[in-house]
């Protein structure tokens, strides 16, 4: 007779295998954990050993990319973010970029500069930070103001920002290229170029009045100009305002040449373009044919800038009444003569650099041959205008009395053939820059013919002066004739 099973009693055969499986599972998990720990420890040991052997190589490579001096490490703004924020610096920098864009749109300029400085502190070795922020200051922010002095100050602030960044990123060719472009494109050829070029010259001529920490209303940008001009790549030595023999001018000396009354921004552009091309890696914003054309182009516009400045200053001093400028007459004469000296120094240099450029990039000859011929015209024009200016100075020193055969008349007569040579050189430039087409004269040449007429007007004005000056007050209108464009 069979007995019924007790429901409260478990089957020993089923419980024992379940407990065994649990023990086996726990043991398996522990075994896998120990195995993973051993593997991770082995990998860590291998990586630490690899780092030990790779560290010297990584240090050498990093030193090529980032040159950190002891002075830089001592800067709290640089070291504190690096030591405390670590990888979060990038996140904070992105937030500051967005905040800076918001401040710019709201025209909150002071907070905007603070944002830029904070971004540079977080990413001190990222050259694009300095390039973008300097561009924003020199181009976008300067355009927000109507007063020329405020525009000019923002341009200089952008340039100073680049040079401060250059201390941390010294071999960034793109940063150097942007420094050169600010001199060339912003100070030298922008819509406000007449004010910028004249103000830049004025500030350099008055650097001897710079007092650190003191702002003078008429010289409010001397601190920025002083910081830029004294960068080592420009080789500028500040000249004293006076010596024992009396006034010797001021300004700067570069090599053996004294620029006592200021220096064109195109000199600084030329230096920076050449420096950018000497870097281990070329700038990435243009092809080589374009990059290597910038130095001779800067010399070309340096000649034009000095000629234009000398023409305007000559008309200014001789069109005024005698008593209005006699006190500063000697200084202004020296200023103008320095300009013509600069043209005679830089025109041959520009021509030589253009020819070297054509040898290296023959296909670019058609693009820049007219610029070489233009410089040849500037060289001839500088000789002619310098002779005419010497004649006007002799006439002034003689009490504005003139007679045929005196020193002034000799220089007036010598200026006429020089202007005729300049006229021939300009004709050659027109034929190269605007060659005749199959249908006759190039229509684009017509607008440039006015400068050819200007040269003829000067020749006629000199001849009229020689005929009429001895009889009374001669016409000086030929000094107000423009013989070259001030735009590129």
Domain that holds residue 414: 294-488
Q: Is residue 347 part of a domain?
A: yes
Q: Is residue 170 part of a domain?
A: no
Q: Is residue 397 part of a domain?
A: yes
Q: What pLDDT does residue 59 have?
A: 61
Q: Is residue 254 part of a domain?
A: no
User: Per-residue pLDDT for the chain (488 aa), expressed as one digit of tens each?
Assistant: 445 555 555 455 555 566 666 667 666 777 777 787 888 888 888 877 877 777 677 666 655 554 554 444 445 455 555 545 556 667 787 888 888 888 878 877 778 777 877 887 777 777 888 888 888 889 888 888 899 999 999 999 999 999 998 988 888 999 999 999 999 999 999 999 999 999 999 999 999 888 887 777 777 899 999 999 999 999 999 988 765 554 555 899 999 999 999 999 999 999 999 999 999 999 998 899 999 999 999 999 999 999 999 999 999 888 876 656 566 788 889 999 999 999 999 999 999 999 999 999 999 999 999 999 999 999 999 999 999 999 999 998 888 888 888 999 999 999 999 999 999 999 999 989 888 775 666 777 777 888 999 999 999 999 999 998 888 778 899 999 888 876 65
Q: Is residue 266 part of a domain?
A: no
pTM higher than 0.95 for the full model?
Answer: no
Q: What pLDDT does residue 244 have?
A: 54
Q: Is residue 103 part of a domain?
A: no
How many domains in the chain? Answer: 1
Q: Is residue 394 part of a domain?
A: yes
Q: What pLDDT does residue 71 have?
A: 47
Q: Is residue 353 part of a domain?
A: yes
3-state secondary structure the chain: CCCCCCCCCCCHHHHHHHHHHHHHHHHHHHHHHHHHHHHHHHHHHHHHHHHHHHHHHHHHHHHHHCCCCHHHHCCHHHHHHHHHCCCHHHHHHHHHHHHHHHHHHCCCHHHHHHHHHHHHHHCCCCHHHHHHHHHHHHHHHHHHCCCHHHHHHHHHHHHHHHHHHHCCCCCCHHHHHHHHHHHHHHHHCCCCHHHHHHHHHHHHHCHHHCCCCCCECCECCHHHHHHHHCCHHHCEEECCCEECCEECCCCEEECCEEECCCCCHHHHHHHHHHHHHCCCCCCCCCCHHHHCCHHHHHHHHHHHHHHHHHHHHHHHHHHCCHHHHHHHHHHHHHHHHHHHHHHHHHHHHHHHHHHHHHHHCHHHHHHHHHHHHHHHHHHHHHHHHHHHHHHHHHHHHCCCCCCCCCHHHHHHHHHHHHHHHHHHHHHHHHHHHCCCECCECCHHHHCCHHHHHHHHHHHHHHHHHHHHHHHCCCCCHHHHCCCCCCCC
């Amino acid at each position: 007779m069979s007995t019924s099973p007790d429901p409260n009693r478990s089957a020993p055969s089923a419980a024992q295998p379940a407990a065994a499986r649990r023990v086996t599972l726990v043991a398996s998990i522990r075994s896998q954990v120990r195995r993973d720990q051993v593997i991770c420890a082995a990998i860590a040991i291998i990586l630490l050993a690899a780092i030990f052997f790779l560290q010297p190589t990584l240090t050498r490579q990093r030193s090529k990319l980032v040159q950190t001096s002891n002075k830089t490490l001592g800067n709290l703004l640089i070291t504190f973010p690096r030591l405390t924020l670590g990888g979060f610096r990038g996140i904070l920098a992105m937030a500051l970029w967005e905040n800076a864009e918001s401040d710019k749109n709201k025209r909150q300029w002071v907070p905007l500069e603070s944002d830029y400085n904070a971004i540079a502190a977080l990413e001190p070795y990222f050259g694009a930070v300095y390039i973008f922020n300097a561009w924003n200051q020199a181009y976008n922010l300067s355009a927000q103001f109507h007063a020329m002095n405020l525009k000019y100050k923002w341009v200089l602030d952008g340039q100073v920002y680049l040079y401060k960044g250059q201390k941390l990123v010294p071999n960034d060719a793109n940063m150097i290229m942007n420094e050169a472009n600010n001199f060339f494109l912003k100070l030298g050829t922008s819509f406000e170029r007449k004010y910028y070029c004249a103000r830049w010259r004025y500030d350099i001529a008055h650097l001897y009045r710079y007092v650190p920490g003191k702002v003078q209303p008429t010289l409010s940008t001397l601190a920025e100009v002083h910081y830029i001009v004294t960068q080592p790549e420009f080789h500028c030595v500040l000249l004293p305002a006076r010596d024992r023999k009396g006034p010797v001018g001021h300004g700067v000396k570069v090599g053996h040449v004294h620029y006592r009354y200021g220096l064109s921004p195109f000199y600084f552009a030329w230096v920076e373009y050449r420096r950018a091309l000497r870097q281990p890696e070329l700038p990435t914003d243009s092809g080589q044919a374009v990059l290597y054309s910038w130095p001779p182009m800067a010399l070309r516009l340096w000649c034009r800038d000095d000629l234009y400045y000398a023409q305007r200053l000559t008309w200014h001093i001789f069109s005024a009444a005698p008593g209005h400028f006699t006190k500063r007459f000697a200084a202004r004469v020296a200023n103008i003569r320095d300009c013509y000296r600069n043209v005679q120094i830089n025109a041959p240099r520009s021509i030589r650099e253009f020819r070297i450029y054509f040898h290296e990039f023959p296909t670019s000859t058609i693009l820049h041959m007219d610029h070489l011929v233009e410089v040849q015209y500037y060289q001839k024009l500088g000789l002619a205008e310098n002779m005419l200016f010497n004649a006007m100075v002799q006439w002034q020193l003689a009490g504005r009395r003139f007679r045929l055969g005196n020193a002034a008349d000799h220089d007036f007569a010598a200026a006429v053939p020089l202007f005729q040579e300049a006229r021939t050189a300009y004709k050659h430039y027109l034929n190269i820059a605007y060659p005749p087409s199959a249908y006759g004269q190039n229509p684009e040449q017509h607008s440039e013919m006015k400068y050819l007429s200007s040269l003829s007007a000067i020749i006629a004005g000199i001849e009229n002066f020689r005929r009429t000056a001895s009889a009374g007050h001669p016409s000086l209108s030929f000094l107000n004739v423009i013989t070259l464009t001030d735009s590129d």
